[in-house]
Amino acid sequence: QVQLQESGPGLVKPSETLSLTCTVSGYSITTGYYWGWIRQYPGKGLDWIGSLSHSGSTHYNPSLKSRVSVVLDTSKNQILLNLNSVTAADTAVYFCVAGVAVADFEHWGQGILVTVSS
Amino acid sequence: DIQMTQSPSSLSASVGDRVTITCRASQSISLYLNWYQQKPGKAPKLLISAASSLQSGVPSRFSGGGSGTEFTLTISSLQPEDFATYYCQQSYSNVLFTFGPGTKVDIK
């Protein structure tokens, strides 16, 4: 059973970089699946951030593409998210997700609230 | 971008009621439509993929239908644990995967 757990700072200053880690248990990230991130704004809307395959091919939300990177740390079985130049509009709950297909989000972490504020 | 809308935005229903939620896409997405259930403080849960394919472990009272631009999620007999917010999501685009705004189902 795939289990995902997000971790990282809950508060980030404007213009800085938001960095989150998703630790995967019960499955090796090099075996299969697409791995990615989705965020949910305080008003409840869901926003896909980006995904990458176990082989490393990436897919990013075009509106975030210039600011975002998602990478695999195979040595630690983790998925890393970096979002730079953040503003208050990036305040959200960030979820780590996984699925057999790039756009089918079968597994979710519990989510982590990240607030962008000085 | 493919825009997703849902109706109604919220509804009140009683245990045992039949409930139908509609999701519309701004262009045809064939059968590339997923449904999720989210309870307060929890992550969304994938219920249905490819418009009508029930995920393992999801009760059979949930069903999905439709194709093209209009889709439905039906709960045949609402149970207490079904009170939640439901989201549709298109998986047709190979550029951007978008969600509907959600439909909140609460107790009448």
Sign of the Cα torsion A91, A38, A10, A18 reads negative
Please tell me which residue of chain B has the smallest CA distance to A63: B96
Whether chain B has a CB inside 8 Å of the CB on A106: the answer is: yes
DSSP 8-state code for residue B102: -
Instruction: Supply the pLDDT for residue B108.
Output: 87
Whether chain A has a CB inside 8 Å of the CB on B96: the answer is: yes
Q: Is B99's CB within 8 Å of A108's CB?
A: no
Q: How many residues does chain A have?
A: 118
Instruction: Supply the pLDDT for residue A97.
Output: 98
pLDDT in tens, B53-73: 999 999 999 999 999 999 999
Q: Is A110's CB within 8 Å of B55's CB?
A: no
Q: Is A103's CB within 8 Å of B91's CB?
A: yes
Query: Is there a contact between B31 and B89 (Cβ–Cβ < 8 Å)?
Result: no
Question: Could you give the CA distance from residue A103 to residue B6 in angstroms, rounded to a whole number?
Answer: 19
The arithmetic mean of pLDDT across residues B2-25, rounded, is 97
pLDDT of residue A55 exceeding 90, the answer is no
Tokens of A2: 């795939």
Q: Which of B81, B5, B16, B24 is nearest to B47 (CA)?
A: B81
Instruction: Supply the pLDDT for residue A62.
Output: 96
From chain B, pick out residues whose CB is under 8 angstroms from the CB of A95: 43-44
pLDDT in tens, B68-108: 999 999 999 999 999 999 999 999 998 899 999 999 999 88
Query: What 3-state DSSP class applies to B81?
Result: helix
Whether chain A has a CB inside 8 Å of the CB on B99: the answer is: yes
Whether chain A has a CB inside 8 Å of the CB on B40: the answer is: no
pLDDT of residue A54 exceeding 90, the answer is no
